[in-house]
Amino acid sequence: MMSVKFRTIKGVQDILPPKTYLWQRVEDAARRIFSLFGFSEIRTPIMEFTELFIRSIGEDTDIVEKEMYTFQDRAGRSITLRPEGTASVVRAYIQNNLYNLPAPQKFYYCGPMFRYERPQKGRYRQFHQIGVEAFSIDDPYLEAELIEMLWLLLEHLGIEDLNTEVNSIGCTQCRPLYKENLLEYLKGNMDSLCSDCKRRYQHNPLRVFDCKVDTCKGIISSAPKITEFLCNTCKEHFSRFLSSLRKLDIPYSINPSMVRGLDYYTRTVFEVTTTALGAQNAVAAGGRYDTLVEEFGGPKTPAAGFAIGMERLITLLEEKTDTEPPQPDVYIVSLGTDATDRAYTIASTLRREGLWTELSYGMGSLKSQLRRADRFRAKLALIIGEDELKRGTLTCKRLTDGFQGEIKLTDVVSDIKRFLNHDQDT
Ligand code: ATP
Ligand code: MG
């Protein structure tokens, strides 16, 4: 009896073929589309000093309060597995003086993120994001362009039923006034707020919008809206952003209670949601963060970005396409030691010619080898036995239509290509 000795820890998962082909499709499409907009890849470490995330995401956010994977390294430093990408990219931007590059500086990243959350469909402890960050652009067209890029990707992948929700959460000028009004309103409802929201009231009142408790949600839905308190500059920014979206034909709705779960945002925030995922319906989210670079010790630099949740995107894709793994070109069936040895050199030649070749290693009968060739969904089976070897020939069988013929060992490459190409013609 086998007994499984090790399993993954809770909330993380193996990603296996053929699903990995779907992941690659998404990553390839993202790289291609992002590069059309001038984004280059940046790779930052998956661990950073804990302080980096506390200072950017914010002390009173769900992420920092309860979701970070934080540990002490052997020298007693506090290290955290990154829960999101923006903080690291901003750190790298400053540390490597990337602001000296010609503006705007545009980056994308792709990789695992870690949050200690309650695992459920669409919510994992290790998950993956593809994200982008663009620096040095004040113009609200930037946010519209980012959303356009995101839409282009999702459209290219064939994902439908998407909504873009947008909001403005103001700036350091107008947000204090809004906070006062919000506090005033919350004060009147203090008794009904949950204990988390009571604490939020003290430390970071905007975070009440993250609350999942029903009674709080009810209270908060009638709270004053930040959009009513925007200063003129923020108002102008928001309206130009919206008109850019309209010019780009991107449908959106304004959600005045969306504040996003991270503290670094200024002005524009947005979320792309779908009706197809149930409770975990946010596929991508982002916004502008005009003060973070400076707060981290860099030059005053406006910036904006977004991140896509890969697992949720993949789920959407899985629901609409079956992923067929790619097919080998050739499966070599060999019978006997000499024939099998010859199969190895043929495989080597074919692979150098760019043909995906699988070997049977001479294992099993002709029938079972051919069955394996079918299970691999190989386009051709190449059959080599002792007799064929003596004659200097091979049998080539096209598995798609059963067409079969004898080919000379000396012509193997050109003949196989002919068999394969014919397959494409029909
Ligand atoms: P949610 O409201 O679903 O918790 P969030 O606001 O915490 O999302 P962001 O920090 O904005 O998420 O991350 C961007 C995207 O990353 C989300 O829209 C989602 O698709 C994905 N994401 C976030 N947390 C997880 C997770 N624990 N597991 C899988 N995907 C996630
Ligand atoms: Mg979350």
With 80 as the cut, is the pLDDT of residue 321 above it?
no
DSSP structure string for 219-277: HHHTSPPGGGG--HHHHHHHHHHHHHHHHTT---EE-TT---S-TT-EEEEEEEEESSS
Ligand 1, residue 284: give the atom nearest the CA.
Answer: 18
Pick from 235, 240, 110, 229: which is nearest to 177 by CA? 229
Q: What is the mean pLDDT of residues 388-412?
A: 93
Ligand 1 pocket, residue 164 CB under 6 Å: no
Tell me how far the alpha carbon of residue 280 lies from the centroid of ligand 1, in angstroms.
Answer: 8
The 10s digit of each residue's pLDDT in 178-214 is: 999 999 999 999 999 999 999 999 988 998 988 889 9
pLDDT value at 220 more than 70: yes
Cα separation, 313 vs 273, in Å, equals 11
Residue 29: pLDDT band with limits 50, 70, 90: very high
- pLDDT for 423 beyond 70: no
> What average pLDDT does the segment 219-247 reach?
96
In this prediction, residues 211-233 reach a mean pLDDT of: 93
pLDDT at position 390 is 92
- Assign 307 a pLDDT band (cuts: 50, 70, 90): very high
Q: Which residues of 192-205 are buried (b: 16+ CB within 10 A; e: fewer)?
A: ebbebbeebbeebb
**Atom in ligand 1 nearest the alpha carbon of residue 313:** 20
**pLDDT at 376 (0 to 100):** 95
Radius of gyration of the chain (CA): 28
What percentage of the chain exceeds 90 in pLDDT?
Answer: 87
Protein residue with least CA distance to atom 25, ligand 1: 123
DSSP secondary structure code for residue 110 in this structure: E
Q: Is the pLDDT of residue 306 over 80?
A: yes
Comparing 87-101, 115-129, 178-192, 329-343, the range with the smallest average pLDDT is: 178-192
**160, pLDDT greater than 90:** no
Q: If pLDDT is split at 50, 70 and 90, which confidence band does 398 have? A: very high
Q: Is the pLDDT of residue 424 over 60?
A: no
In the reported structure, the alpha carbon of residue 282 is separated from the centroid of ligand 1 by a whole-number distance in angstroms of 7
Closest CA relative to residue 81, chosen from 140, 23, 27, 9: 9
Does position 425 have pLDDT exceeding 70, yes or no? no
Nearest protein CA to atom 20 of ligand 1, as residue: 309
The answer to whether residue 81 scores a pLDDT higher than 70 is yes
The Cα–Cα gap between 45 and 96 comes to 14
Q: What is the spatial distance between Cα 256 and Cα 243, in angstroms, rounded to a whole number?
A: 17
Q: How far, in Å, CA of 365 to CA of 369, rounded? A: 6
Q: Which two tokens stand for residue 271?
A: 């979320």
Pocket test for ligand 1, best of 123, 164, 212 (most atoms within 8 A of CB): 123
Q: All domains of the chain, ordered by start, with CATH?
A: 19-174+230-320 (3.30.930.10), 178-224 (no CATH), 330-420 (3.40.50.800)
Q: How far is the CA of 116 from the centre of ligand 2 (A)?
A: 10
365: left (phi over 0), alpha (psi -120 to 50) or beta: beta
For 214, what's the count of Cα atoms within 13 Å in the CB-facing half-sphere?
0
Q: Which is more confident, 349 or 280? A: 349
DSSP 290: S
Report the mean per-residue pLDDT for the chain.
Answer: 94
**129 close to ligand 1 (CB < 6 Angstrom):** yes
- Separation of alpha carbons 98 and 89, rounded Å: 10
Q: Coil, strand or helix: which one is 50?
A: helix
> What is the enclosing helix (H) or strand (E) of 188?
none
Give me the pLDDT at residue 165, please.
97
Say what the pTM is: 0.93
Mean pLDDT of 378-405: 94
Q: Are 309 and 129 in contact (CB under 8 A)?
A: yes
**120 CA from centroid of ligand 2 (Å):** 12
- Measured from the CB, is residue 307 less than 6 Å from ligand 1? yes
Q: Is the predicted pLDDT of residue 134 greater than 90, yes or no? A: yes
Q: Using CA atoms, how far apart are residues 276 and 260, in angstroms rounded to an integer?
A: 21
93 pLDDT band (50/70/90 cuts)? very high
